[in-house]
Amino acid sequence: MALLDNVDAATNLAKNNELQLLVFRVSEREDSAYYAINVFKTREVVESKNHYLTQIPSAHLFLEGTIILRDLQIPILNLPAWLDVTLTKEEIKRSNILVCDFNGVIIGLRIMSAYRVIKKNWGEMHAPDSYRLKDDGVIINDTRLEDGSLCLILDYEKLLADVLPQALVDVERDTEALKDIALPEKLIKGTVLIAEDSKTAQKHLTLLFQKANINMKLFNNGKKLVEYIDSLGDSANAIVPAIITDIEMPEMSGFTVIQTLKANPVSKNIPIIVNSSMTGDNNKREAEDLGADGFIDKTKSHNVIPLIVEAMARYQ
């Protein structure tokens, strides 16, 4: 799609604490909201009318069926319905499918229309506490378009957890992988810090660490985690055995978290693991170049604790 033809390289954006968003709408109503998704989670936008939809018996209410696109069978999720928006039959005919890649899971999101690609600094992304008051909240943060319109970024991990839970973390399976791993004393006695803005991902990680009997402390964005490290002073390295960070977060991206902490003599020897749905090679390479000690995608969180143990051994 032409909108996605002129997208900056992920590495260039990361160095400037920036991101690019594909802005779209799910309804033709004049008062309908603008939504956005990181362009690096998108593949293309195709017209719905050009693709035959095969329904799946006994599927989730929001799983419309599948289409075949470039020899791939792609599940189509009814994003408007998930957002309590009902499309007419005519609107459905005119709608589009936004093809996305989440941790290697390819899905199609029904949208009405793609609007444009915008560039933002993570400092321009906001996450009011009101978005976190209820467990069923679907908005993760927001920003403003040039004309002042509010643009909402959705919790796409929650969408997948609701409709395609098999694509995400299985905590019971994940903790099984820990049985044969000897945990370092520093990990057992310390507190792992986690920067993650998705409530769904927070829940998965919390359950995982609780079952492993490892202390952890959550932060809703990278800036708060960095500020906490600063507040610990010289004791940070002794108290914090490891850090886990997402890449996409309001105020400060995970790349900037890595860059900041690795440049700080107090925290430079604390292992940092990236846990992200942005699993492209460029992102992995950039994280490594900045000093990250490991990278996993959010569907494979069972690897996070073994990865921490491995990284800690390199600093001994």
Give pLDDT tens digits for 198-227: 888 888 889 889 988 999 999 999 999 999
Higher-pLDDT residue of 154, 2: 154
The mean pLDDT of 51-77, rounded to a whole number, is: 92
pLDDT digits (tens, 9 = 90+) for 139-153: 888 999 999 999 999
Place of tokens 């467990």: 135
- Give yes or no for residue 14 having a pLDDT over 80: no
Ranges of beta strands (E only) in the chain are 18-25, 34-38, 42-47, 63-69, 72-77, 96-102, 105-111, 113-121, 139-144, 150-154, 191-195, 215-219, 243-245, 272-276, 294-297
Longest Cα–Cα distance of the chain, Å, equals 64
* Rounded-to-10 torsion of CA 287, 156, 16, 147: 170
pLDDT band at 131 (very low <50, low <70, confident <90, very high): confident
CATH number of the domain located at residue range(s) 169-314 in this protein: 3.40.50.2300
Q: What is the pTM of this model?
A: 0.80
pLDDT band at 232 (very low <50, low <70, confident <90, very high): very high
Query: Domain 2-166, CATH 2.40.50.180 — does that match?
Result: yes
The predicted pLDDT at position 16 comes to: 79
The neighbouring-strand residues paired with 67 are 74
Q: What is the DSSP letter of 138?
A: -
pLDDT band at 285 (very low <50, low <70, confident <90, very high): confident
Window from 63-72, 211-220, 253-262, 298-307 with minimum mean pLDDT: 298-307
Question: To the nearest whole number, what is the mean pLDDT of the chain?
Answer: 87
Domain ranges of the chain: 2-166, 169-314
Measured in degrees and rounded to the nearest 5, phi and psi for residue 94 equal -90, -5
The predicted pLDDT at position 259 comes to: 93
The predicted pLDDT at position 173 comes to: 62
Cα–Cα–Cα angle for 252, 274, 287, nearest 5°?
Answer: 75
Higher-pLDDT residue of 48, 40: 48
Do 63 and 55 touch, CB atoms closer than 8 A? Answer: no
